[in-house]
Chains A and B, each alone.
Chain A
């Protein structure tokens, strides 16, 4: 081990020791992990006396008192135990003040819950690539990504907690969790996806619990439930036929099988996936099979890969029209019912993966069942989500940046 390595190791150890308060309860003077009324009052009085020019020996600062009041009033004076999306019980001894978020979907959800940006001390590097969607985090330090984490930066951010995916890229996240635990066991690692529709509302509830935002999490869940209920009611009529759907990712002729989230989203919106018999999650399909299976609706995902346009940046949104034309002119596609009936749609990836899947579902349902969901306004839902929950200018939710043709 050379001198530089030793120096870095010492530095990391010193950094990791700094948040020593993380494992203790604020105001718990006797250290019994129970915050009594007398202890909270003692913290407040000590703070006030010091502020008035009195004895400051052992006096807490305002943040410490605020945390003690939170633990006493909201947590019942005892450490809070939260079960994350992996089923592991994590224990908090004080409200989280310094959080590293390595999962963009969780960062978006925290904003929906009104968690103050000042609590987010570091983010994954992709956050910095979305200035229109995450303007407040453009100067927040980056800690790399879950595929290339920068451990030195994670630890130097002195976090109380680090948020990682639960099931997405689980192997990489397992390793990050282990290495953080080795470097500083006082850092709580939460594993939450905020990615899958079937677990999203549970994730929202867990985050609400962690950050004492239960009311906000209920409001957000209510927004989702309203849309999901509308879909369920609209699709409950057995006489309503479900169209055959060809769903294509941003890779040409790569579709979605039953093991994929896209398949579930097709079904949720009332579609029959023509490649539901696929063994692979994301099968590369035979172009002839697409024609022979006669889809009534075609949905192509854009916004990434060779189809990087549109989205919140609005970059090159004029490419939607020509892209659709290219699809329509594929060999043999004039024999596909979806093409003959003008039911070929482009959907930006931002609205189908992650927390905004609910907007994409509303678009899909309208495309699959135009007669049933004529009153559903996906563009309006999108604007509401952006303004009410994300606190952003709703003009960035312009449908012309996300779907084609625009309803």
Chain B
């Protein structure tokens, strides 16, 4: 039992830690067809973020000052200077994924906005890039870590089943 708990903890660490270095998105779906999207930015990062908004939906407000966001052509552009968190509101939601990319101008790194938690309602938050971007630093270790963790899990389960 303890072994399973340990394995689960290792899996969690391997899967969650790399994502913590980037920008995450969570969606809070309202009953009136609106959704509040929250992006969490790591400390020290000065990113520019582009969110590709599903067709038909509109950005009606953003927690950033007006000079720091721009909504046009289906894209929401955000200039995050020292805000640890950014929220924006969507209306007119029908269906589709939000995808996003970011460039951190303080470190030169870039990546995709990754979803946090489960999605609810018609609007989903996806990790696939809406724009061409180079892989985020640490994504290969994350993939390798996942593979290793999966192999370890398989080995553990097979080991338990063998006589």
Residues of A that sit less than 8 Å from B by CB: 37-38, 40-42, 44-45, 47-49, 51-54, 62, 65-66, 69-70, 72-73
Contact = CB atoms under 8 A, between A and B. Distances in A.
A70 to B, nearest CB: 8
A42 B105 contact: no
Contacts of B65: 37, 41
Contacts of A49: 70, 72, 75, 77
A171 to B, nearest CB: 41
A54 B69 CA distance: 15
Interface residues of B, number: 21
Contacts of B75: 48-49, 52, 54
Given A48-B48, A48-B50, 20 more contacts: A37-B67, A40-B79, A41-B65, A41-B68, A41-B81, A42-B67, A44-B48, A45-B48, A45-B79, A48-B75, A48-B77, A48-B103, A49-B72, A49-B77, A51-B131, A52-B50, A54-B73, A65-B105, A70-B106, A73-B81
Contacts of B41: none
Interface of B: 46, 48-50, 65, 67-70, 72-73, 75, 77-79, 81, 103, 105-106, 108, 131
State the main secondary structure of chain A at its contact with B.
Answer: helix
A73 B108 CA distance: 15
A54 to B, nearest CB: 6
Contacts of A54: 72-73, 75
A19 B148 CA distance: 50
A53 B50 CA distance: 12
Contacts of A73: 46, 81, 106
A229 to B, nearest CB: 33
A37 B75 CA distance: 22
Contacts of B46: 69, 73
8 closest Cβ pairs, A-B complex = A44-B79, A41-B79, A69-B105, A48-B77, A44-B48, A38-B67, A41-B68, A45-B70
A116 to B, nearest CB: 10
Contact of A66 (B79, B105, B131): B105
B73 A44 contact: no
B69 to A, nearest CB: 7
B81 A66 contact: no
B131 A40 contact: no
Contacts of B73: 52-54
A48 to B, nearest CB: 4
A208 B131 CA distance: 36
A192 B65 CA distance: 43
A70 B23 CA distance: 20
A321 to B, nearest CB: 50
Contact of A40 (B49, B69, B72, B81): B81
Contacts of A62: 103, 105
A45 B81 contact: no
B77 A45 contact: yes
A41 B108 contact: no
20 contacts: A37-B68, A40-B81, A41-B65, A41-B67, A41-B68, A41-B79, A42-B67, A44-B79, A45-B69, A45-B77, A48-B48, A48-B50, A49-B72, A49-B77, A51-B50, A52-B75, A54-B72, A62-B103, A62-B105, A73-B106
Contacts of A52: 50, 73, 75, 77, 131
Nearest to B73: A54
A96 to B, nearest CB: 16
Nearest to A67: B105
A38 B81 CA distance: 10
B109 to A, nearest CB: 11
Contacts of A51: 50, 131
Nearest to A36: B67
B50 A44 contact: no
B103 to A, nearest CB: 7
Contacts of A38: 67
Nearest to B131: A52
Nearest to A47: B48
Contacts of B70: 45, 48-49
A391 to B, nearest CB: 19
Contacts of B106: 69-70, 73
Contacts of B108: 66
Nearest to B75: A52
Contacts of A72: 81
A41 B67 CA distance: 7
A49 B76 CA distance: 9
A210 B79 CA distance: 27
Given A52-B73, A54-B72, A37 B48 contact: no
Nearest to B49: A48
Nearest to A37: B81
Given A37-B67, A49-B72, A65 B81 contact: no
Contacts of A47: 48
Contacts of A53: 73
Nearest to B130: A52
B134 to A, nearest CB: 12
A48 B103 CA distance: 9
